[in-house]
Amino acid sequence: MKPERADAARNRTKVLAAAADLFAAKDPRAVTMDDIAKAAGVGRGTLYRRYPDVASIAVALLDEHETALQQGLMSGPPPLGPGAPPAERLAAFYTAMADLLETHGHLALATETGGRRFEIGAYGFWRAHVLSLLRAASVPAPEALADTLLAPLAPEVFTYQRAQGLSLEEVKTALTRLTTVLISS
Spatial distance between the Cα atoms of 47 and 43, rounded to a whole number of angstroms: 6
Stated length of the chain? 185
Query: Long-range contacts made by residues 54-60, C-beta under 8 angstroms, separation at least 24?
Result: 54/19, 54/28, 54/110, 55/110, 55/111, 55/112, 55/113, 55/116, 57/15, 57/16, 57/19, 57/110, 58/19, 58/23, 58/28, 58/107, 58/108, 58/110, 58/111, 59/111, 59/120, 60/16
Mean pLDDT calculated for residue range 111-136: 81
Q: What is the pLDDT of residue 29?
A: 79
Average pLDDT, the chain: 88
Tell me the pLDDT tens digit for each residue of 39-81.
999 999 889 988 998 888 888 888 878 888 999 999 999 999 9
Cβ burial 110-138 (10 Å sphere, 16+ → b, else e):
bbbbeeebeebebbebbbebbbebbeebe
Q: What is the pLDDT of residue 185?
A: 46
